[in-house]
Structures are given as C-alpha cells and as structure tokens.
Amino acid sequence: MAANRSESPQARLNTLRRRIRHHDHCYYVEDAPEIPDAEYDRLFSELKRLEERHPELITPDSPTQRVSGTPLEGFSKVEHRQAMLSLDNTFSSEELAAFHQRVVDRLGAKVAGDSLSYVVEPKLDGLAISLRYEQGRLIQGATRGDGRVGEDVTAQVRTIRAIPLRLGGEGWPTTLEVRGEVFMPTEAFEQMNEKARAAGEKVFANPRNAAAGSLRQLDPKVTASRPLTLLLHGWGAVDGGVMPDSYSETLVLFRRWGLPVSDLIRSVQGIDAAQKSVNHLETLRQTLPYEIDGAVIKVDRVDLRARLGYVARAPRWAIAYKFPAQEVVTRVQGIDVQVGRTGALTPVARLEPVTVGGVVVTNATLHNFGEMRRKDVRAGDRVSVRRAGDVIPEVVRVVPQDALAATEGTLFQRPDPMAEPERCPVCDSRATRPEGEAVLRCTGGLVCPAQRKAAVIHFASRRAMNIDGLGTKLIDQLLAKGVITSVVDLYHLEHAVVASLERMGSKSATNLLHAVAASRTTTLGRFLFALGIREVGESTAQGLARYFGTLDAVMEADRERLESVPDVGPVVASRVWAFFREAHNRQVIDGLLAAGVVWPDVEGSVSEESLPLAGQSVVITGTLESLTRRDAKARLEALGARVVGSVSKKTALLVCGASPGSKRTKAEALGVEIIDEAAFLVLLER
C-alpha cells in the first residue's frame, strides 16, 4: 500500500499526479472510470499528505490545486461568472472536528464555536450543474467543467422535468444562478441497465456515470429519454435582487420558487449536532431512492462564508463527509456457473472476501456470459465490486493492472477467458441461447436438479406459498433422498420420513407438516407467483389474478387477452400462455389442486362480459386534444381493449384524432369502425 521506499518525494508526486490526471480523464471526460471512487480518494489523499509535508513541491497544475474535470469537445463553452467549486473530503468524526476547529480559528472570537449554525445535507453522487434564470426564465444550463469553464447543456437540462423552465412565486432576482446535482434515481438506473443488458448492450457502471453520460449527450432527445432529476445545493451569480443572509433561508425561497430542494436538509447548531445529523443520514442511506456517497456540512451564514473564503478547489466553509464505499476492489478467485430457477446459466465471480458498504461480500454476479466477455473478467483479476441497497453485488469492471500498480501488487499472467459452457454444469443437458436473448439456458427443465431445487425454494418462499421452516438445506435433503421429486410431493410428506432427516426430529417434522398444511389455503395471486412462470413476478401474478379472477380463466386466455392485463406485454403474455400449454406444468397444477390447495374467489375481478371492449383490438391515430396517448391507451385497456399500433382486419375500432395519417385510409378500406375524439370521450364516459 505504501509508496515504493526507494522513490524520492518528487518522483512519487509525479507518479501520483500522472495517475490522478489519468483517472480524472476517465471519470470526467470518458464517463468510464477505471477504479472505484475510494481508490481515487486514496491516491488523492496520499498526494495531499505528501504536498503538506513538502509544500515547496506544490505546483499550480497539481490536481490538489484545481477543480477536476475538463469541458467536453462538441459542446459550446460557458464561462462561470463565479467559480463552481468542489468539496474537500473527510472520512471520520476526528477529521470533521478538525474542520470545525479550522472554521472557528479563522472566524476568531466573534463566533462561539458551539453555537455556530451548520446545514447538513445528503451528498449526491451525480453531475454538478449551474442553471441561470433571467427574469425568472431558464436561460442557460452548464456543467461544472473545470470549475471556471463548463459545457453549455441548456438544451439537455430543459428536458429534465424537475427543472422549472420558469420560476414560480415572486421576488426572484433579475439574474439568478442556482447550482445543484443532476442524478439518476436508483430504480430507474437499474431498469435502464436491465434493458440494456437484455439487449446485449453496454451498461453503465453506476448511477453517476449514467447521469453524466445522459446529460452530456449532444442530442438532447437522448437526454430526454433518460430518467434524470435534480436537487439544488447552492447558488452562483445573483444580480438585481436581495438574497437572504443564510443558506437555510435561501433554500426556503428556492422551494417557494418551485426549485427542487432535498427534504433531508437539516439546520443544526455546533459540530456535535452536525455529526449526529451526518450519522442519521448514514442510517437512511440504504432506504433512499437515490444513491448518496456521504453528507455535506456547510456553514449557514453567508457573511461568515465570505470571511472564510476558499482555497484552490474548495470552499473553506463546507466539507464532505464520505460514507463507506459501495464500490471496492478485490480479487476474483474463480468463476462459477450458477443455474437459476428458469435454467439461466449465470457466471458468478468467487471473490476474496471484502466489505462493501458495511457487508462482507464473497460472490458477485457477472449477469451473463456476454457481459462477462465484454468486461473481460478472468480468474485472478482485480475487479471493482459494487453493492447498493438490496441489489445483488455485481462485478463492475476489471481494474487495469497498471491502475493499481501505484499502490500495490505485481503483474500476473492472466489465464484464457472462461469459455461459455455448452452443457449445464449440473445436469449436463444442452445449454442454448434463444435467438435475440442475452441469457444462456439449461434445456433440462425440471429434469435438472438445480432448476428443480430452485423451483421448490421459490414455491415455498415467503411471498409465494409461504411454507414456514422449509429452507434450502431441508429442500436439498428432500430432493437428494428422493422424498420429493416435485412440489406436489410436499403435500404428501410422511411424518416418520421427515423426522428421520438430518437435523430434524419428531417436533420439527410436526411443525413442518403443519406449515405445509397451512399453506394449502392461499390466494390465486400467490399460487400463480409460486408456479414460477418466467417473467411473472409477484405484481404481475397479482395483476393476472385480479384481472381474470379464476385459474381456469388465466389458463384458457389466449395471448391477446393476456396482453390486455395492465403491465403485461407481448413477452410476458407469451410466457404465461406457453407455460400453461406444457403438459408437465398442467400435471403439477392438477396435482396441487388434488392435494387440496385452495383459494377464495377474487372479488371484483374483471370477467369477460363485464367489459365493453373485452378482447377487442383498438388503434389510436392522430392527435387527441383532451388526453395524452398514454392516458387514452390506459383508459381503453381499463375497458378490456387491446391497444395495438397498426390497423388490420382484426381491428375492431379506430380512435381518430386530429391530422390522422395512413391508418385512417387503411381503416376505411377495411371497413373498420372509426370514431372521432368526441365519440371516444362518450365511450369512455360509458
């Protein structure tokens, strides 16, 4: 970890500066970091410590002396009237106390340290931007760039819904520059990556890169399609108006003007209260809908901020308190192939144990073989591993050997990349990749012990049939000893057989049989979920149950009808349809029903007859005045219609708004019923 002892301070400084510049470029220009933030912070801290010991070696171009980042080519440049600063980091309560001491020392006797007002707020990990409003209208959006000159991203920020194009309320200054962080909420990020992964496309390493990559798109249409949002945390130039004396009062005004401000920002007095507030934010971290990498502590009073001023790259009146990293570096010991419930063969990296965001991680998913190849992960590699919220830990990327050579390790000869298996490692059935899919699958179905086991685990799980006490180890034994071959057998277990299993006895066997018996009474939604139909998660299963009301109705529905269920698209519809057409699935269902699995009828379910447009295919064309396409579609679906994109013989109805195109002509030619918007509204009223 320590520097090479033979290196002179100057040589070490040069190495560190070169590396930091390289990583700045990867991070700020390419939006593709090679190392986790925590590694970068380590290099940066080492450079700072070294420069503190040798101030004579500090140069104006050292990374410690300037805000990192470079404006991208292709965007016009914007010169910031007031520099956009970054923040210095701290990692412990001692360092935070030292920050407070520096503030108090600089302010002198006029300010009592323990009553000094601070504002504590979440530190968002996104892209810093500045928005300029003139007469209350959004005129310009700019990235931070190098702090002095940024990129003009006006067209891009205009697509972000959270950013008002006009300020609300009254009393805003003639010119107002507000500053904040553009970021992508976690769930939206996961969904975007999931889609990219399924399509075999490049995924973003983390929400920050996704936000930066999405905002810095020359084509604002791309930005518009990305789920970005913003929270404000400061201001820049202000003309023609009077601003409050404190940051906390300024935030109140921002809110009044319709600008987005976090509701987790707190005002406190003294550094102990600030530390408490930081700790509280840390406990909230995993529950927030977006990632935070720390807290920011800021002096509240504007006059004190002015007296404190700033050093090279950061204000003296604010400090970031970084939380434990959610992305860290460790070594891949080997790559295993796991077989999932639906036969998916997933490469999983076995890791040297490492703590990520407070939890020890020993395995991380590589998602699928295509992604493993793209990332080129091999046994022995140093990789960065990310874990956020309750998402499964994943390998983000291989850390280039020379990126770490500055701090550790020697080079090693990498083995050949792992080949994609042709057969299932568990049952030896053929592995195939259906056309257009990213995932390799075992073709063994329920013949494959791994799939069978995963199916039983899923069936018994809490949100499915909820068989209390039937855990993985017990399921292993039941399958291995041939006591069960499918989930149906769970309902025919004998007390003596269960009691004779390892770590079981008469009492545990009785408990298990009770739990199995209790699970017989369930709901249709749970039952459908428990069957483990591909692509049918809990909410889809419940949607199907609500819509159809009975198992028979679900089983008999054709694909078109299945697609009328809210949130069911063509892929899910064909999975459900295909599932019920497999004889062995029908057998399992019959077996479960014969074993006494029951549920009450679903009340208020939507039966065929009750819906005016049940199963009918409807097309919308032209512009509707009174509602959006999306709303029109949802309203039609609520009446049982299937809304499709093109007119055919099967089309029952064409809803025709203003300026229709060729669809109307085609519908006329085919004799399809056509209604205008007024008639459509009458239909919806009915």
Q: Give the residue numbers marked as catalytic.
A: 123
Shortest spacing between CB 86 and ligand 9MJ, in angstroms: 6
Question: Stretches 27-35, 121-129, 495-503, 570-578: which one binds ligand 9MJ (CB under 6 A)?
Answer: 121-129
Which string of x and - marks every residue 489-518 that binds ligand 9MJ (by CB under 6 A)?
A: ------------------------------
Best CA proximity match to 386, nearest among 309, 314, 293: 293
**What is the closest distance, in whole angstroms, from the C-beta atom of residue 184 to ligand 9MJ in the complex?**
14
Residue 23 in the binding site for ligand 9MJ (CB under 6 A):
no
> For ligand 9MJ, which residue of 13, 87, 297, 388 counts as binding (CB under 6 A)?
87
Give me the least distance between CB of 192 and ligand 9MJ, in Å please.
21
Helix, strand, coil percent content, the chain, rounded in steps of 5 = 40, 20, 40
Residue placing its CB nearer to ligand 9MJ in the complex, 296 or 533: 296
Residue 329 · residue 39 · CB < 8 Å? yes
CB of 243 or CB of 404, closer to ligand 9MJ:
243
The yes or no reply on residue 467 touching ligand 9MJ (CB under 6 A) is no
Report which residue type is found at 62.
S
- The verdict on 378 binding ligand 9MJ (CB under 6 A) reads no
H/E stretch holding 134: strand 127-134
Q: Which stretch binds ligand 9MJ (CB under 6 A): 1-9, 118-126, 132-140, 510-518?
A: 118-126
Q: Which of residues 575-604 bind ligand 9MJ (CB under 6 A)?
A: none
- Beta strand 137-143 with 229-239 is unpaired
Task: Give me the least distance between CB of 327 and ligand 9MJ, in Å please.
Answer: 17
**Closest distance between ligand 9MJ and the C-beta of residue 183, in Å?**
9
Residue span binding ligand 9MJ (CB under 6 A) among the ranges 95-103, 119-127, 369-377, 584-592: 119-127
Residue type, 191: Q
Q: Considering beta carbons, is residue 69 or 234 the nearer one to ligand 9MJ?
A: 234
Q: For residues 80 and 233, which CB has a smaller minimum distance to ligand 9MJ in the complex?
A: 233
Site for ligand 9MJ in 435-464 (CB under 6 A): none
Find the binder of ligand 9MJ among 16, 20, 67, 85 (CB under 6 A): 85
Build a one-symbol-per-residue string for 247-286: x at contacts with ligand 9MJ by CB under 6 A, - elsewhere.
----------------------------------------
Q: Is 88 one of the binding residues for ligand 9MJ (CB under 6 A)?
A: no
Beta carbon nearer to ligand 9MJ, 154 or 262? 262
Identify the residue among 123, 226, 367, 664 touching ligand 9MJ (CB under 6 A).
Answer: 123
Pairing of strands 266-269, 292-299: unpaired
The only residue of 151, 177, 181, 677 in contact with ligand 9MJ, by rule CB under 6 A: 181
| Residue pair 150/130 in contact by the 8 Å Cβ criterion | yes
Please state the closest distance from residue 320 (CB atom) to ligand 9MJ, in A. Answer: 7
User: Pick from 181, 66, 42: which is nearest to 125 by CA?
Assistant: 181
Is residue 642 a contact residue for ligand 9MJ (CB under 6 A)? no
The residue range among 120-128, 241-249, 464-472, 480-488 that interacts with ligand 9MJ, by the rule CB under 6 A, is 120-128
For residues 364, 369, 372 and 374, what is the CA-based torsion angle, rounded to 10 degrees? -150
300 touches ligand 9MJ (CB under 6 A): no
Q: Are 54 and 48 in contact (CB under 8 A)?
A: no
Instruction: Build a one-symbol-per-residue string for 38-77: x at contacts with ligand 9MJ by CB under 6 A, - elsewhere.
Output: ----------------------------------------
Cβ closest to ligand 9MJ, residue 123 vs residue 453: 123
Does residue number 318 form part of the binding site for ligand 9MJ (CB under 6 A)?
Answer: yes
Q: How far is the CB of 234 from ligand 9MJ (least distance, A)?
A: 5
The nearest distance, CB 141 to ligand 9MJ, in angstroms, is: 17
Cβ-based nearer residue to ligand 9MJ, 230 or 349 = 230
Question: How is the beta sheet containing 617-621 ordered, strand by strand?
Answer: 642-644, 617-621, 651-656, 673-676
- Name the E strands within 135-262: 137-143, 149-151, 175-183, 229-239
**CA dist 351 → 184, 332, 359 (Å):** 29, 5, 14
**Cα–Cα distance measured from residue 485 to residue 481, given in angstroms and rounded to the nearest whole number:** 10
Is the separation of the CB atoms in 399 and 34 below 8 Å? yes
Q: How far is the CB of 123 from ligand 9MJ (least distance, A)?
A: 4
Q: Work out whether 124 is an interface residue with ligand 9MJ (CB under 6 A).
A: yes
Q: Where in 221-240 is the site for ligand 9MJ (CB under 6 A)?
A: 233-234
Residue 87 or 512: which CB sits closer to ligand 9MJ? 87
Q: Which residues contact 495 (CB under 8 A, 6 or more apart)?
A: 506, 509, 510, 513
Helix axes 472-480, 449-460, angle to 10 degrees: 130
Residue 305 touching ligand 9MJ (CB under 6 A): no
Count CB neighbours of 55 within 10 A.
7
DSSP classification of residue 79: E
Closest alpha carbon to 320 in 353, 274, 366: 274
With CB under 6 A as the contact rule, the residue among 88, 121, 146, 637 that binds ligand 9MJ is 121
Residue 304 in the binding site for ligand 9MJ (CB under 6 A): no
CB of 205 vs ligand 9MJ, minimal distance in Å: 18
Cα 635 to Cα 685: distance, rounded to the nearest angstrom: 10
Torsion of CA 279, 281, 284, 290, to 10 degrees: -150
Q: How far apart are CA 538 and CA 546, in angstroms?
A: 12
The two counts, helices (H) then strands (E), for the chain are: 25, 24
Amino acid at 532: G
Q: Which residues contact 568 (CB under 8 A, 6 or more apart)?
A: 540, 543, 544, 562, 576
The answer to whether the CB of 156 falls within 8 A of the CB of 215 is: yes
Burial bucket for residue 446 (CB in 10 Å: 0-12, 13-18, 19+): middle
* DSSP state at residue 162: T
> CB of residue 292 vs ligand 9MJ: minimum separation in angstroms?
8
CB closer to ligand 9MJ out of 313 and 526: 313
Gap between the Cα atoms of 22 and 403, Å rounded: 9
**Chain residues in the site for ligand 9MJ (CB under 6 A):** 85, 87, 121, 123-124, 181, 233-234, 296, 315, 318
